[in-house]
Amino acid sequence: MIKQILNKVSRKQSKFSKNQEPLDAQNPNLTCSGSKRSDLTGGNSRKLSSSDISAPLNPRFNPNDTNSRKGGHVSVSYESLPSFRDVPSSEKQNLFIKKVIMCSVNFDFTDPTKNLKEKEIKRQTLLELVDFVASNNVKFTESVIHEFVKMVSANLFRELTPQPRDCKILQSYDLEEEEPSMDLSWPHLQIVYELLLRFIASPEADAKIAKKFIDHYFVLKLLDLFDSEDPREREYLKTILHRVYGKFMVHRPFIRKTINNIFYRFVLETEKHNGIAELLEILGSIVNGFALPLKEEHKLFLSRALIPLHKPKSLMMYHQQLSYCITQFVEKDCKLADMVIRGLLKYWPVTNSSKEIMFLGELEEVLEATQQPQFHRCMVPLFKQIARCLNSLHFQVAERALFFWNNDHIESLIRQNRKVILPIIFPALERNGRYHWNQAVHSLTLNVRKIFFDLDPELFNECLLNFQEEEAKEEKIQSRRESTWKHLEEIAADKASSNEAVLVN
Amino acid sequence: MSMADEPLYPIAVLIDELKNDDIQLRLNSIRRLSTIARALGEERTRKELIPFLSENNDDDDEVLLAMAEELGVFIPYVGGIEYANILLPPLETLCTVEETCVRDKAVESLCRIGSQMKESHLVDSFAPLVKRLAGGEWFTARVSACGLFHIAYPSASETLKAELRSVFSQLCQDDMPMVRRAAATNLGKFAATVEPAHLKSDIMQIFQDLTQDDQDSVRLLAVEGCAALGKLLEPQDCIAHILPVIVNFSQDKSWRVRYMVANQLYELCEAVGPEPTKTDLVPAYVRLLRDNEAEVRIAAAGKVTKFSRILSPELAIQHILPCVKELSSDSSQHVRSALASVIMGMAPVLGKEATIEQLLPIFLSLLKDEFPDVRLNIISKLDQVNQVIGIDLLSQSLLPAIVELAEDRHWRVRLAIIEYIPLLASQLGVGFFDDKLGALCMQWLQDKVYSIRDAAANNLKRLAEEFGPDWAMQHIVPQVLDMIKNPHYLYRMTVLRAISLLAPVMGSEITCSKLLPVVVSASKDRVPNIKFNVAKVLQSLVPIVDHPVVEKSIKPCLVELAEDPDVDVRYFANQALQSIDQVMMSS
């Protein structure tokens, strides 16, 4: 992708420089950038103050512009600056800053006919910047970084717009798949993201200086953008955040904490977020790098943020990445298997079969890395759940559970603990053998049944006997329960009336 | 029956049931917690059951949710208000679990119990509980604490009050955004219990901090609290402290914040009084009406009428009306739709002249909107404009709009317009109706969609009620009865449905002379579905007609149907016959 852009850059640039008007030394940005500069000058103290709120970030949010939404345009001259190769080396640094400042101006992309010329100029300028940063010629001094981060912030940190509601309703009530919405300003955004990525990756950019500007507020805003509906944007964000995490050691705890907060909000409050998969992908690689023994903080992260992520309805969207993170943990420290398995059981889906299949898949991977002692601790509740899965009317669920016996590691765990496990799952096997509608499930069940029988015929027959006894008693237990409650009701009524009698006396 | 002799230990039953693997059984037993409590008696409930519940809350969230709910109404079972504090410990634990529903329910139950508790208990047990939760290690406890302050505060001593205020303010600065959001959500409730002096100092400081939070989600909730807080303050304080904040917010760069402002602005006007409204809030509102973001305009457009009502007509005409004009041709159909649903209410505010001159053209253009929802919204509020300018000016444009909606290809749109026909009929009068709409009402009876046919039958009934039986006899009944000859059985069924609805309105005489014969003849239909519907209709006619008619016409017909070869026809015929017998017996 980068190559593509560069090709385009050079092609466009040559065309561009041919058509170039004679240079004039004026700075076209002075007029328009002055008012826009006030927003981020707060430096590190980035708590929003009311002056921040009233000072608009960029023309798009400029209230005056807002008012004239039907006819507004950027009313300043927006001319392109000379190309880098047309100025002496000593001037290049200055020109870089000027171009950066120039790119801090945003244009309204909702109206494709507006500011066409200016949009193209900005696009070209951004591409030149990408090229220049790539050439490693920039000295990223404090002031350069300051302007650069300001420009990036002005471009990227916008409130994400909801999907336009128009024209969806009439066309289709039954349209299930929603197209991901594409950000209209992507032609600019993409290059800004590319620039930011190159800046972070550039060895010229010293993390010690840059961290003053790539600060907590910047990281927070970057993380907010993960909710973007545009998959292209999230892809860039993923790469960039990963690099930021790698480069800025000081921010690591903050980034992890903020991601946790996003997860908590997603699981406990909104259940809506577009970037969970991307965030988990970053975390997957972070978890991969955790040193052993695992810190308590990281274990808490597993139990309080990752495991609850199994709950939301939209698990399908990020299950693969989540499952990767979880198995990473278990592979690093097999003592965690017990906690993970109990966690899965806690969030086990009740009615959603496709989710259940995902759970079974993940469970198999976790069990794969589980050792005897941990298995021992959770096998009772685990196999109660598996028994329920075996009896699922959804044949894929039942089948997926039966496939566990094809896994050598799991099969051997089961075999060693058969004295506990078989009594739990025996009724399920028996019922499947008798009633299950699906042929494949039926034969797989018989297979498993046979494995147990061959393994330990004595135990098997004992379970069979038990099962038959229980079955015979079932009705009796039911009626006993009913009569117990009835009796309780009577006692309660008695007490109440005697109480009243006491009161009357 | 040996059961009754065995001694029964209610707690043991519960423990046993809660051990069961089947979650449904566990849920059932928690749902019957009050039975166990009553069986135990108050004292043993306090000494055995409640401690047991406090310790055994490691169950599925669903069970915990049920437990949190049950405990909220448990005061009578532990011995009344005197012992209400016994219930706090189990709920406190439930306030710390992970699942949001459980925590919310536990907080709700705690509030319910707290609001009945004795003052001394509130001070000795409830307030310490709030403080413990607020200092909880995990954020779930702190989130729950936020919702309890307004219960603990009023009965506290001065020192305790000061402490509670400072604890709340700490929660507003909590490290976790989840806690700050909960605090922001509950700020209004808490503020309502705080004394005016502290309101101005402590609470306003908290509010200011929240409005400047790093996280948009927190700021958003702070805006939501604006109006509630504004109403608590004296107008001058509100002007000094809330007004600047809201004006700033109305220009926030986040559209979500502006959206919240658009929703709250009206209530804030009430709090600050007319003068600041005029100077500050009207301009802010006008900005929102012209916002870049459609969502904001939708919210703002929906408040046009409410807002205009609190302004003088001149102000409304000068500032609001021009925006309304713009919005009526907004690019987003949802904005237009929101506008259309409230704009009719502006007529009484503006007065007749301004309405005819300025508002009428807007009505008319919205009535021709390409989007059916917009047109429907205008039509649904027609009575409001009728009061001001009379319907005559509108009726010219109204008819094409109605006809078009009546034939819309989406049945939901057709359904919506049918619902408004009685309203239209009452507004437009019999003359207009007969000329223009009568045919439409009959046409719907033969719609392809069942819901429309059903609604059409219902509509006929409502029209008959509106215009009276004589009118119905002339304009509805003959046409409907004529449709019984339709070759399609579904349409014949619609006729039966219409008859059953019309009969009570038309009265005994017309029912016997006109409707009943048609029903009886339909019992000879070749389609069984018609026949068993005849049985149902006949049953419904019994209370309307006189006894001899039942004996002479209805019963013989039903007896015949009861011999029908079709099992369903026989079933419904017998049902009808049985019910007739019952009526006869009782009378």
| Closest residue in B to A162 (Cα–Cα) | B295
The closest CB to that of A159, out of B177, B244, B256, belongs to B256
Q: Using CA of residue A120, residue A121, residue A122, residue A125, what is the dihedral sign?
A: positive
Contact call for A50 and B212, based on CB within 8 A: yes
Contact call for A63 and B295, based on CB within 8 A: no
CB B349 within 8 A of CB B316: yes
More confident residue, A376 or B39: A376
Residue type, B118: K
| Closest residue in B to A53 (Cα–Cα) | B252
Mean pLDDT of B499-525: 90
- Nearest-CA distance B512 → chain A (Å): 46
Picking from A158, A166, A304 by the largest number of B CB atoms within 10 A of its own CB, the best residue to mutate is A166
CA distance A459 to A15: 84
Mean pLDDT of B124-139: 90
Q: Chain A contact for B295, CB < 8 A?
A: yes
Q: Chain B contact for A165, CB < 8 A?
A: yes
The closest CB to that of A67, out of B100, B216, B287, belongs to B287
Picking from A46, A61, A225 by the largest number of B CB atoms within 10 A of its own CB, the best residue to mutate is A61
Contact call for B333 and A166, based on CB within 8 A: yes
pTM (whole model) above 0.80? no
- Alpha helices by DSSP H, listed for A19-115, are 29-33, 50-54, 63-67, 89-102
Q: CB-based contacts of B393: which residues, under 8 Å, 6+ apart?
A: B356, B360
Contact call for A61 and B253, based on CB within 8 A: yes
Tokens at A125, concatenated: 């300028």
Picking from A70, A262, A484 by the largest number of B CB atoms within 10 A of its own CB, the best residue to mutate is A484
Picking from B8, B30, B31, B38 by the largest number of A CB atoms within 10 A of its own CB, the best residue to mutate is B38
- Nearest-CA distance B359 → chain A (Å): 22
Q: Chain A contact for B389, CB < 8 A?
A: no
The predicted structure's pLDDT at residue A502: 43
- Nearest-CA distance B13 → chain A (Å): 8
Q: Chain A contact for B370, CB < 8 A?
A: no
Q: Chain B contact for A142, CB < 8 A?
A: no
Contact call for B255 and A159, based on CB within 8 A: yes
| Closest residue in B to A380 (Cα–Cα) | B21
The DSSP output letter for A42 is T
Which H/E stretch holds residue A418? helix A418-435
- Nearest-CA distance B404 → chain A (Å): 16
The predicted structure's pLDDT at residue A76: 54
User: Which residues, numbered 410 to 469 in chain B, qualify as contacts with chain A under a Cβ-Cβ cut-off of 8 Å?
Assistant: 410
pLDDT at B345 over 90: no
Q: Chain B contact for A183, CB < 8 A?
A: no
Picking from B21, B292, B375 by the largest number of A CB atoms within 10 A of its own CB, the best residue to mutate is B292
- Per the prediction, chain B carries an average pLDDT of 86
pLDDT tens profile B93-107 = 999 998 899 999 999
The predicted structure's pLDDT at residue B6: 54
Contact call for A48 and B291, based on CB within 8 A: no
The predicted structure's pLDDT at residue A493: 80
Other CB atoms closer than 10 Å to residue A503's CB: what's the count? 7
Q: Chain B contact for A498, CB < 8 A?
A: no
Q: Report the 3 state secondary structure along B465-486.
A: HHHCHHHHHHHCHHHHHHHHHC
pLDDT tens profile A203-236 = 888 888 888 898 899 999 999 999 988 889 999 9
Chain B residues inside the 8 Å CB shell of A158: 253
User: Which residues, numbered 272 to 291 in chain B, qualify as contacts with chain A under a Cβ-Cβ cut-off of 8 Å?
Assistant: 287, 290-291
Mean pLDDT of B136-161: 90
Other CB atoms closer than 10 Å to residue B92's CB: what's the count? 20
Tokens at A453, concatenated: 């029988």
Closest alpha carbon to B464 in B413, B515, B498, B420: B498
pLDDT at B483 over 70: yes
Q: Report the 3 state secondary structure along B205-229.
A: HHHHHHHCCCCHHHHHHHHHHHHHH
Chain B residues inside the 8 Å CB shell of A489: 35, 39
CA distance A265 to A275: 13
pLDDT in tens, chain A (505 residues): 454 544 444 444 444 443 433 333 344 333 333 333 333 333 333 333 333 333 333 333 333 333 334 444 444 567 777 777 777 778 888 888 888 888 888 888 777 788 888 888 888 888 888 888 888 777 888 888 888 888 889 888 887 776 555 444 444 443 445 566 777 888 888 899 998 998 888 888 888 888 889 889 999 999 999 998 888 999 999 999 999 999 999 999 999 999 999 999 999 888 889 999 999 999 999 999 888 888 999 999 999 999 999 999 899 999 999 999 999 999 999 889 999 999 999 999 988 999 999 999 999 999 999 999 999 999 999 999 999 999 999 999 999 999 999 999 999 999 999 999 999 999 999 898 888 888 999 999 999 999 999 988 999 899 999 988 888 888 888 888 888 888 888 887 877 666 554 443 3
Mean pLDDT of B216-239: 82
Contact call for B291 and A53, based on CB within 8 A: no
Closest alpha carbon to B114 in A212, B106, B234, B417: B106
User: Which residues, numbered 483 to 512 in chain B, qualify as contacts with chain A under a Cβ-Cβ cut-off of 8 Å?
Assistant: none
Q: What percent of chain A has pLDDT over 70?
A: 79
| Closest residue in A to B139 (Cα–Cα) | A264
Closest alpha carbon to B180 in B132, B223, B217: B217
